[in-house]
């Protein structure tokens, strides 16, 4: 998502901040940055929305579930053993 936000910002910069001094200079040397900036801005915004939507509707939870097992055993000689086990899963 950060990459798409960066692309959208780059498009906005290309639209507003990078302008030629003379319109003839922009048309005869290279390409006009304003239409390219609009395309880059739209691509970044669409990518940001799509990746945010996919992240929001995905079934994976970001929380960690914990399972704890505590068990005490006695053997024939009445000696006790205790077991404490924790399992973490995403």
Query: pLDDT tens track of the chain, all 90 residues?
Result: 778 888 888 887 777 765 555 555 555 555 566 677 788 888 888 888 888 888 878 766 566 778 888 888 888 888 888 888 888 776
Is residue 39, in this structure, part of any structural domain at all? yes
64 neighbors 25 (Cβ within 8 angstroms): no
Q: What pTM value is reported for the model?
A: 0.48
Is residue 63, in this structure, part of any structural domain at all? no
CA-CA distance, 63 to 45, in Å (whole number)?
28
Is residue 65, in this structure, part of any structural domain at all? no
Q: Residues near 59 by Cβ (< 8 Å), separated by ≥ 6?
A: none
26 neighbors 32 (Cβ within 8 angstroms): yes
What are the tokens at 3? 């990459």
Q: How many domains are contained in the chain?
A: 1
What are the tokens at 81? 């053993």
Segments forming the whole domain that contains residue 20: 2-57
């Amino acid at each position: 998502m950060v990459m798409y936000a960066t692309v959208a910002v780059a498009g906005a910069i290309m639209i507003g901040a990078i302008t030629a001094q003379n319109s003839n200079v922009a048309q005869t040397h290279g390409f006009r940055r304003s239409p390219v900036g609009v395309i880059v801005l739209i691509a970044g915004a669409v990518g940001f929305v799509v990746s945010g939507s996919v992240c929001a509707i995905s079934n994976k939870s970001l929380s960690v579930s914990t399972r704890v097992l505590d068990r005490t055993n006695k053997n024939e000689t009445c000696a006790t053993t205790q077991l404490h086990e924790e399992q973490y899963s995403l």
